[in-house]
Structure 1
Amino acid sequence: MTDLAALAELIRADTATRGRAISKLGYFCAPFQPPAGPFSDRVIKVYRGAATEAQLTRLATAHDDYVRVLTECGVTLPETAFHLVDIDGTGTKTPVIVQEALPLDSLMRPRMLEDSREQTLAMMQAAGEVIARFWIAAEEVEARVGFHPSIRNFAIRDGKAVFFDTFPPLIHYTRDEMGKLLLQFSEKRLMRLIGPLMQTRVTGIQDEWYSPPETLVGLVGSACRLRPEYADSYLDWGRDFAQSHMPQWAEAALDGLDGPPQLPGYWTGFRKLLGLQGEPNV
């Protein structure tokens, strides 16, 4: 059982105690792994955003359900726990995910940048199999459920893809509710301030996550932007994979794979505005 008092103390601690952020790519938070102590084998993700007690309770329930559904749909996850933590002792609760740490050299995105063409294609296959397995199984899930299988959300262990992004929990929320959640828990104050003026576009960010063919196209697009010299190989892989592993969605996927897929301009603009790293995968 997680010691929430110790967890709150760790989150309040200085950078040297907490450990530096292991990624600055995140829209919602900058995960960190403590260099020592009881949480040294865990990654800590803190999601700051103003929310009522009822909203937080709903979020916690949705997260538990989402982890369960992901697992039931064949998605391998590291051990993941969701907590509502009183960080500063005022009684105000903050969502915190404590997750089993994965070796940094297993993270898919850095490996996609460094490995050979054949190795990157093998990783694409591993991630693609998770995408196909999830969506086929998710057809039996009654709730509205989504999946965000970005390259930066996978690790590769023993040739298999491990998915580690469970926030926001893409289950039980309507499209409009999820759009508001994207603003409510954005790490960047600027986004929370100006986002409501662009709510329609912010809400649209999620649409790919609820579309089986678009999640596959998104994976291929990220790979093409990371390694443009292999774009033709990734496109060929995506077309073959769509037809062999996701035939019920192949037609729509093929429409998106007639050339290197591009991110919507508004999302690229958001990332630059917020100062999120990610070149060239933007």
Structure 2
Amino acid sequence: MTDHAALADTIRRHQQGQGQPISRLGYFCAPFRPVDGPFADKVIKVYRGLPDGAALERLAQAHDAYVAALEQTGVPLPKTEFLLMQTETGRVPVILQEALPETSLMRPRMQREDLASTLAMMESAGQVIAQFWNNADQIEGRVGFHPSIRNFAVVDGQAIFYDTFPPLIGYSREEMGVLLLQFSEKRLMRWVGPLMKAKVTGIQDEWYSAPETLVGLVGSACRLRPEHAGAYLDWGREFAPRAMPRFAEEALEGLSQPPRLPGYWTGFRKLLGLQGEPNL
């Protein structure tokens, strides 16, 4: 049972500058790991609150359902708990997650390790993607997955996925577009986003498409290590029919050349100062 008072004190001390930031460039929050205390083995993610209590309750239910869906489809996930914490300004969503070794984060490893090692990590992450989509029809309703390189760690050769927010289950496309704006950590996104609502809503589409999630993984690798782009493309073209045969035809179309991010998304990233750092 989580000690809410101790967690609230830990968050308060972090906000006073006593925490260890994991990433300052997250899309929805800046996760941190306490340097000591009862949560020193956890990563804590504190999100913006909402004035609508019913919307918060729905979010909590959706998150529980999403973690259950990931587990049901075989996605390796650290122990993850979603809480609605009472603060002076109202309730805020908090995710408490078992910490993974920083040395295991896939993105920095992809940047510094050799080709053989990076291909092995791609295979491990690809197997998680295939595991999810090959079993996703067991899940009722609209469900998605955001398996970008920055959302994986690789421990002893096993890719572990750790990004459960926003919960990609139980929301329509339009509702998810609203969530992307409501929970953005960047105030500028909340101001400017509604003016470009259709494009903001479109950001999620890749997360709900099996072939596009695989293509997205390969594209990220090609951008991180352009000198190995040919090898990553070859891996993706071989992997799709081997591990995701139902989705291979469309995936192969997307892997005819190094995949690129949509122009509007790269524009949003530059506008918001987001450089794709790990979002634990």
Normalised to the residue count of structure 1, the TM-score between the two structures is 0.95
1:41 matches 2:41: yes
Query: 1:140-178 deviations in whole A, cap 9, x for unaligned?
Result: 212100000000000001101000000000000000000
* Equivalent pair of 1:11/1:87 in contact (CA under 8 Å): no
Partner residue of 1:230? Answer: 228
Assess, with a 3 A threshold, how the Cα gap between structure 1 residues 208 and 234 changes in structure 2: closer, same or farther: same
Percent identity between the two aligned chains: 68
Name the SS for the 2:32 alignment partner: coil
| Letter of the 2:3 counterpart | D
Count the aligned residue pairs. Answer: 277
Q: Deviations over 1:172-204 (max 9, x none)?
A: 000000000000000011111111111100000
Task: Say yes or no: does 1:198 pair with 2:199.
Answer: no
Query: 1:163, 1:49 → 2: CA distance?
Result: 25
Higher relative contact order (CA 8 A, sep 6+): 2
Is the Cα–Cα contact under 8 Å of residues 18 and 33 in structure 1 kept in the other structure?
no
- Describe how 1:128-143 pairs up with structure 2 within 5 A: 128-143=126-141
State the match for 2:208 in structure 1.
Answer: 210
- The answer to whether 1:74 aligns with 2:74 is yes
Partner residue, 1:184: 182
1:13 partner SS = helix
| Stretches of structure 1 lacking an aligned partner (at least 5 in a row) | none
Structure 2 unaligned segments of length 5 or more: list them. Answer: none
Residue 248 of structure 1: aligned partner? 246
1:24 partner letter:
R
Q: Which residue of 2 aligns with 1:3?
A: 3
Q: Is the 8 A contact 2:148 2:216 kept in 1?
A: yes
- Going from structure 1 to structure 2, the CA distance change for 1:49 and 1:199 (only over 3 Å counts) comes to farther
- Is 2:30 the partner of 1:30? yes
Question: Deviation of residue 20 (structure 1)?
Answer: 3.0
Cα distance in structure 2, aligned partners of 1:18 and 1:266 = 37
AA partner of residue 249 (structure 2): E
1: CA distance, partners of 2:6 / 2:268: 35
**Structure 1 240/47 Cα, relative in aligned 2: closer, same or farther at 3 Å?**
same
SS in 1 for 2:8: helix
Assess if the C-alpha contact under 8 Å between 1:24 and 1:277 holds in 2. no
Q: Is the 8 A contact 2:14 2:34 kept in 1?
A: no
Measured on the aligned residues, the alpha-carbon RMSD in Å equals: 1.3
Taking the TM superposition and a 5 Å limit, the aligned residue runs for 1:86-101 are 86-88=86-88, 90=89, 92-101=90-99
